[in-house]
Chain A
Amino acid sequence: MSLDTRPPRQHPVRQVATPRERQAERGMPSRSLLLALVLACIALMVVDRTSGDESPVAPVRRVVGEVLGPAQAGVSAVLGPVVALPGNLRTNDALREENADLQARVDALEQEARKAGYDDNRMQEWAGLGQMSTGTGYALAPARVISYGAAQSFSNTVTIDAGSDSGLRPDMTVLNGDGLVGRILEVTSHTATVLLVVDASSTVGGRVGDNMENGMVEGQGGFAADEPLELRLLDDTVLPEKGQTVVTWGSEGGAPYVSGVPIGEVDKVFEDLRLGTYRAVLEPFVDFTSLDLVGVVVPSGGDGVIEPGAFQ
């Protein structure tokens, strides 16, 4: 027999928790839980990423959306006005400033809108001139009508803002996007005087486009005359018909008139009983009271000249 001579235990057995127990006690997630969650995330990503449109996540998304969608709409409707409140609280100064800004913008836009029609028309004129150049095959020097001769002088002339500096000479053909305007009488260095075809002293060789019959187109004088142009065919037996187009016949060397420029169309036909000839009244294509942009037929290759095929 031997006595237990060991000293009595003064302390209870030391209770050592395993690391896992300690972690669980402290509320730590176990390693396996963490691993499972991370793997779950990665698996979800891979599945969603690789399966494209037929992702199994899509129906889940749909269900969550069905539940949360109305909630979102409700919250948005309820809190929207509250969020928008700061936008409504603004000082008088800020409002005045904004008002001034907007007023300035309105003014600018109105001005632009007023000019829009004018700009459109100018654009159309340029396009017409380009088209005319292409159609007739002549190079055109653009110019603007800057003044009309007074009616008291009984001549129908206009001044254009291009002259000898732009290569213009007397007896050049002037036309615009619609047709023949006239010819140049005189030039200065920066201006030129144009005799309109409606002038009483103007005679243009004209040709009916349909049957190539030649004739003379004579001006009757006056912009506002009812019958500004008259056509007398050289062949008395040919009867001009209403709606036929008359173009220039063309002079030798292209002066004063080049050939093939439309003048107008036959509007009325009269028979001169005494002479036994026909007289046709032409309706000119050009509106002579609102001439603005015109082109002068010049040799090709000059500075600022509209060549055939431009604007296309």
Chain B
Amino acid sequence: MSGTQRLVAALVTVVAALLLQVTVFPHLAWNGVVPDLVLLAVVGAALVTDPRFATLLGFGAGLLLDLAPPADHTAGRWALALMVVGYVVGRLAHDHSSAQAGSARPAYPLMLAAGAGGAFVGTSVFALSGLLLRDPAVDVGELLEVVLAAVAYDVLAALVVLPAAVWVFTREPGARPAQVTPRTPRRTPV
């Protein structure tokens, strides 16, 4: 997938995830907790693209989440959280896939694990930044409850969302990271 195509795919995915997250999923909310579709989209992208793209995508998607209408918190919090998610997941996935000698699509359990980890990291970073800024001024117990509920719900959503996101970012044969950055033998014995 060329750079432009990937960019368009990322934009469409993130905007669609955002729209679904703020319009449809509140109807299916559990105690007001909705699955973080945008976060899962970033995780999906991080699994199959390179970490740099994932980091930038996380930053952009988080910025969008910070600025899109229902948001009222301090701008930049989701940007930071999703950036960290994109970087961490991208880095781990990248290392893992290079050890595994590049299969195009990650295994399903791996996706779920990445989704759960990403959700935990993302919501935690967001909550922690809120604690530091005293943005919503809630106590830690309540915060933890919401974070855990969000992670649980995210894992549930990840069952469907992550494969979809991964599919979007690997639609074209050229999109494989293994082919974008061909693995050349770097260490040749002397």
Contact = CB atoms under 8 A, between A and B. Distances in A.
Interface string B138-179: 000000000000000000000000000000000000000100
B79 interface: yes
A45 B181 contact: no
Nearest to A46: B76
B79 A44 contact: yes
A15 B190 CA distance: 11
Given A27-B51, A27-B94, A29-B87, A65 B68 contact: yes
A27 B75 contact: no
A28 B69 contact: no
Which of the four size classes fits the interface of chain A?
A: 35 or more
A126 B66 CA distance: 61
B5 interface: no
Interface string A207-218: 000000000000
Contacts of B52: 27-30, 33
Contacts of A30: 52
B38 to A, nearest CB: 12
B186 A22 contact: yes
Nearest to A28: B51
Contact of B80 (A17, A45, A57): A45
Interface in B13-61: 15, 18-20, 22-24, 27-28, 49-53, 55-56, 59
Contacts of B49: 27
A41 interface: yes
Given A14-B188, A27-B51, A83-B28, A45 B19 contact: no
Interface in A8-52: 11, 14-15, 17, 22, 25-30, 33-34, 37-38, 40-45, 48-49
Nearest to B70: A72
A45 B74 contact: yes
A37 B24 contact: no
A44 B27 contact: no
A69 interface: yes
A200 B49 CA distance: 107
Contacts of B51: 26-29
Contacts of B180: 27
Contact of A38 (B74, B77, B83, B177): B83
Contacts of A84: 27
Given A42-B80, A75-B19, A83 B53 contact: no
A48 B74 contact: yes
A241 B76 CA distance: 85
Residue of B66, B98, B135 most packed against chain A (CB within 10 A): B66
B64 interface: yes
B12 interface: no
B113 interface: no
Contacts of A79: 20, 23-24
B139 to A, nearest CB: 20
Contacts of B27: 80, 83-84
Contacts of A33: 52, 55-56
Contacts of A29: 51-52, 55-56, 87
Contacts of A83: 24, 27-28
A13 B181 CA distance: 22
A221 B8 CA distance: 100
B67 interface: yes
Given A42-B76, A45-B76, A45-B133, 9 more contacts: A26-B94, A33-B52, A37-B55, A38-B83, A41-B80, A44-B63, A55-B75, A57-B75, A80-B24
26 contacts: A11-B188, A17-B186, A27-B50, A27-B52, A27-B53, A27-B177, A28-B51, A28-B52, A29-B52, A34-B55, A37-B55, A41-B79, A44-B63, A44-B66, A44-B75, A45-B75, A45-B80, A57-B67, A61-B69, A68-B15, A69-B69, A72-B19, A72-B69, A76-B23, A83-B27, A83-B28
